[in-house]
Amino acid sequence: MGYRPFAAAGLWDAGAPRRCGSGWVQIGAREVRPKSPELLTAVEAIAAIEGGELSCEALIGACFDRIEAREADIRAWVVHDRSRALKAARERDAGAIRLPLMGIPLAMKDIIDTADYPTSYGSAIYAAHRPRVNASCVSILESQGAIVAGKTVSTEFAYFSPGPTANPRNRLHTPGGSSSGSAAAVADYMVPIGFGSQTAGSLIRPAAYCGVIGFKPSYGRIALTGVKAFAPSLDTLGWMARDFDDVELVRASLLGKGFRKLAAVDGRIRVGFCPTPEWEMASAETQVALCRAADMLKRHAEVAETGLSDAGLAQVQKTIMAFEAARALWHEYHHHKELLSRPLCDLIEAGLTTSYEDYLAAHRRARLASAEVEQLFSDCDVLMAPSAPGEAPVGLHNTGDPIFSRAWTLLGLPCITFPLPRDKRKMPIGIQLIGALDGDRKLLEVAKSVAKWIET
């Protein structure tokens, strides 16, 4: 199929385009270049495919061209397979049924089981591991037409020890973790959607560092079957994208809902500016950027400072995470300890020395905080907080601090990060919005409007 202007995807102004030299297209008096397929959002690509203006094969081919051009520098992937993905794309093109995620390429974090690719969980222990079946999320998405392009780099068992991935915005900086490869792949236009997970800050932080949208749904609503457990009371599957509607497209697909584009927010929303007890750990640039965003929002929304009374929720999250990780990784620790990093061993050993009584007390404290935050949402539509302490740190030896995500992960609340407007010569800084439990779509709609408001 030829590559034609994407009228169905809404990428052209009104007017009949005609081809000019060197691939340019003339619309009225203007000449513009059509978007190359790898630059499309998932929603745009689906519209173009449904309109007969793009094939699944062309989309996959363009994404793999980008991967092959950039992977030596970014190192986002553990494994990818162009021939397998193209074969799947041709099958989609030849099929009589038009599927909701027709031909959309996905990156899967390497803690998510895939029958067609190895899954190593970021550890040498599982270097040759090949799951027999897909994780439930993979099966659901592929049944709706998506194509897994490959597996992206994860830190060791989704904890802190980094892989080789560099930040596409500046390769001297970390992409964050633990969903390092997925964040980098989406930021570098290798795929429109990348999957990750969050137990502390493993989605929000890398998305913020790489300047993309990162979404952690309400806890327990997306199936984790086939995703390597770390701390089951906290583990949450999530994903990254470059467009808010793409985030909702994936959410609807995983929940068996029909996709509807996100609506504009009606009326004046209520934003609770929640700097959190860790505010002093944010860089001066982050503090200034968040306060400026809050001031800009006041033209469109009611903004008031708020917060939780318990200043120790980050430590509560650490206690629960350590206790559960020590049990979830019991086999690896007791049979392959020599292949585990020292930081992970330290966490497991802290968990093994945590009493069951202290673990239960941490859960009781979390329940009290959940009741308090539920009351906050009677006065606020969303909460606003930093996504990370600052820009992505220089160096690939660490993945940054998840401090600004620990409490929200503990409470199971849906969270989204997206980049604040900045000079493109600088590294991204993210803003995090937190929604009420099960208020995921409302959170996405508010976030899409907020992103527009703070750009103007």
pLDDT digits (tens, 9 = 90+) for 61-88: 999 999 999 999 999 999 999 999 999 9
| Mean residue pLDDT across the chain | 93
456 or 160, greater pLDDT: 160
Residue 359's φ and ψ, nearest 5 degrees, are -65, -45
Position 454 scores a pLDDT of 94
Position 20 scores a pLDDT of 38
Helix (H, G, I), strand (E, B) or coil at 405: helix
> Average pLDDT in the 325-339 region?
98
In whole angstroms, give the CA distance from residue 405 to residue 408: 6
Nearest to 407 by CA among 285, 277, 289: 277
> Average pLDDT in the 185-191 region?
98
Position 301 scores a pLDDT of 95
In whole angstroms, give the CA distance from residue 395 to residue 399: 9
> Does the structure show a pLDDT above 50 at 179?
yes
Catalytic residue among 55, 179, 197, 202: 202
Task: Please enumerate in sequence order all residues whose Cβ is within 8 A of that of 381, keeping only pairs 6 or more positions apart, or say none.
Answer: 269, 270, 271, 435, 442, 446
> Does the structure show a pLDDT above 80 at 446?
yes
Position 266 scores a pLDDT of 78
> Average pLDDT in the 307-331 region?
97
In whole angstroms, give the CA distance from residue 186 to residue 38: 10
Catalytic residue among 55, 123, 136, 178: 178
In whole angstroms, give the CA distance from residue 40 to residue 28: 23
356-379 pLDDT, tens digit each = 999 999 999 999 999 999 999 999
Position 366 scores a pLDDT of 98
Instruction: Grade residue 221 by pLDDT with cuts at 50, 70 and 90.
Output: very high
Helix (H, G, I), strand (E, B) or coil at 367: helix
- Kindly state the percentage of the chain with pLDDT values over 90: 90
Contact 210, 176 (CB under 8 A): yes
Rounded to the nearest 10 degrees, the angle between the axes of helix 403-410 and helix 313-328 is 80
In whole angstroms, give the CA distance from residue 307 to residue 135: 37
Position 424 scores a pLDDT of 85
> Average pLDDT in the 212-219 region?
98
In whole angstroms, give the CA distance from residue 214 to residue 428: 13
Token digits of residue 451: 């992103």
Position 6 scores a pLDDT of 37
CB atoms within 10 A of CB 15: 11
Question: Is there a catalytic annotation at residue 233?
Answer: no
Question: Is there a catalytic annotation at residue 178?
Answer: yes
Residue-by-residue DSSP string for 84-119: HHHHHHHHHHH-SS--TTTT-EEEEETTB--SSS--
Instruction: Grade residue 33 by pLDDT with cuts at 50, 70 and 90.
Output: low
> Average pLDDT in the 225-247 region?
98
Question: Is there a catalytic annotation at residue 83?
Answer: no
> Does the structure show a pLDDT above 50 at 12?
no
> Does the structure show a pLDDT above 80 at 23?
no
- CA separation (Å) from 141 to 42, 64, 101? 13, 20, 7
> Average pLDDT in the 342-358 region?
98
79-134 pLDDT, tens digit each = 999 999 999 999 999 998 889 999 999 999 999 999 999 999 999 999 989 999 99
Catalytic residue among 55, 109, 151, 216: 109
> Average pLDDT in the 302-320 region?
97
In whole angstroms, give the CA distance from residue 437 to residue 414: 6
